[in-house]
Amino acid sequence: MLEFPIHLETEKQFNEIAQSIPYQTIQYKDVAITIKRLDQIHPAISGNKFFKLKYNFSQAKNLGYKGVLTFGGAFSNHIAATAFAAQLFGFKSLGIIRGEELQSHPYNATLTFAHEYGMQFSFISREQYRQKNQVDFIEQLKTNYPDYYLIPEGGTNDLAILGCQEILSPSDLQDYQTICCAVGTGGTISGIIESCQPHHQVLGFSALKGDFLTREVQQFTSKKNWKIIDDYCCGGYAKVTAELINFIRSFEQKYQIPLEQIYTGKLLMGIFDLVDQGKFPSKVLVIHSGGLQGRSSII
């Protein structure tokens, strides 16, 4: 396991926020689907972002940084959560935002929220944004912003995966063999996989089209008891279909659990379809990863 000095006060603040995570069990046909409501951890630092940021902020405190810098699109849950957490824990924050044309547009709800909590923005072209993982690009950012701790897009790094290993409790691991979650950058599912034993099956429902996420996750774990499914991504990231919107509306009306169209809506739509096909066991645990600030007005 990755080891590093933990900033005890920061860890204490995070742990106090996450004292109680509710569960909600729904019955669909002959399958009991228990949903772990990470969306209810905190109004702003919710879902998987809470666990991804925990040890990154602890490390930033340890190293004496004054600010945090991260990357995202205009609707990024990670941007919103990082902005709020930065203000809460006494950091400045800077978001490198994909799309230089957004600089002259009114902020959407996500960027407005982040800005209200003190985040400054640097809008860059999509071509520049694709360089976000390149060494030269990162080194230039470190030169330009020496007082800022860099967190990657979506928050996914070794410290994020360490945090995501805490998503599943000992009782979760004892009570469930099949665990499902949405997948964006692969950090959350990697942490979940690392916390599991060989008899567990971890299913990730991708928000993106293609098998590249499987390769991403393989960088973080050597375990084999997992699979990523992209059959329900509706054509790609942030893409929606009438079927997805109708599913979300129907699901929310029946179960009173809010979803959004990027991750959790696709996750539950996929699970219900696999239940219809008779491909699920009698009970499963589903991780509701939050992200409700990105919920579209069309739902």
Comparison of pLDDT for 6 and 95, the residue scoring more: 95
Q: Say if residues 23 and 35 touch (Cβ distance below 8 Å).
A: yes
Distance, in Å, from the CA atom of 266 to the CA atom of 106, rounded to the nearest integer, reads: 29
192: helix, coil or strand? helix
Q: Say if residues 164 and 51 touch (Cβ distance below 8 Å).
A: yes
Is it the case that residue 223 has pLDDT exceeding 70?
A: yes
Sheet of 92-98: strands edge to edge?
A: 119-124, 92-98, 67-72, 148-150
Cβ-based burial of 161 (10 A; exposed 0-12, middle 13-18, buried ≥19) = buried
Is it the case that residue 138 has pLDDT exceeding 80?
A: yes
Distance, in Å, from the CA atom of 191 to the CA atom of 286, rounded to the nearest integer, reads: 15
Q: Say if residues 226 and 200 touch (Cβ distance below 8 Å).
A: no
Q: What is the mean pLDDT of the chain?
A: 92
For a pLDDT cut of 70, what percent of the chain falls above it?
Answer: 95
Q: In DSSP terms, which residues pair with 205 in a beta bridge?
A: 182, 229
The structure tokens 């071509």 sit at 127
Q: Say if residues 60 and 149 touch (Cβ distance below 8 Å).
A: yes
Helix, strand, coil in percent for the chain, rounding step 5: 45, 20, 35
pLDDT (0 to 100) of residue 8: 64
pLDDT (0 to 100) of residue 44: 76
The structure tokens 């009570």 sit at 175
Instruction: Note the helical H segments in 145-263.
Output: 158-164, 170-175, 187-195, 212-218, 242-255
pLDDT (0 to 100) of residue 2: 53
Distance, in Å, from the CA atom of 122 to the CA atom of 99, rounded to the nearest integer, reads: 10
Is it the case that residue 96 has pLDDT exceeding 90?
A: yes
pLDDT (0 to 100) of residue 281: 94
pLDDT (0 to 100) of residue 299: 74
pLDDT (0 to 100) of residue 7: 65
0.85 exceeded by pTM = yes
